[in-house]
Amino acid sequence: MSKTIKIGIGFALAWCLVKYVSFLMDPLPASIIPTVSINILFLLSSVAVALYFEKRHKQGETSALGDIKNGLKAAVPYTLVVSLFIYFFYATINPQYNQHQIDTAVTLLNKTMEDPVEFQKFKDSNASFETMKKEDIFAQIKTNIDVNYNPKTITTMALLSMLLLSTFYSMLVTVIYRKIIFKN
């Protein structure tokens, strides 16, 4: 296993540990923004550190495409490990979080449905709701809420967003290293 892959996996395991410790300290946090921010920082760090070591130990000139590829060698394992952890975290370790989010969304939906003015605004905002009864609208939105807070959906969204971010970070770090740090 190459050093870049080990770096990516190391940062991923570090984030998994941070997420789990965060869960132990506060099982139902009011915000997941701190752990998401740390995830983004660790993803960037894995790309930057792996590419730095790769450029430092490689003799000769490398291409920008090769550098992007080397950055992705750390980012893709990071993304896979973190995505798997996210699935198991929300499916087995902390399924109450998803249920809490569903309950909060349903409470807000009930409040909106009970207020005639808000309900009319809500109904006018979507053309497909015009002919539907209140109960049908509620059932459809409740189904969407349940799907959105499913561990599989959360994992899929995390995987896709981290793959896009990985590609962006690999290109960004490559440009920074080639133009500033390792310029000839």
Residue 84 makes CB contacts below 8 A (sequence gap 6+) with: 155
Q: Domain residue spans in the chain?
A: 3-181
Type and span of the H or E element at 135 = helix 134-148
CB 19 within 8 A of CB 87: no
How would you write the pLDDT of the chain (184 residues) with one tens digit per residue? 789 999 999 999 999 999 999 999 987 777 889 999 999 999 999 999 999 998 888 776 778 898 999 999 999 999 999 999 999 999 999 999 989 999 999 998 888 888 888 878 877 887 887 788 888 888 888 898 999 999 999 999 999 999 999 999 999 999 998 888 777 5
The pTM score is 0.87
Tokens of 50: 């792996």
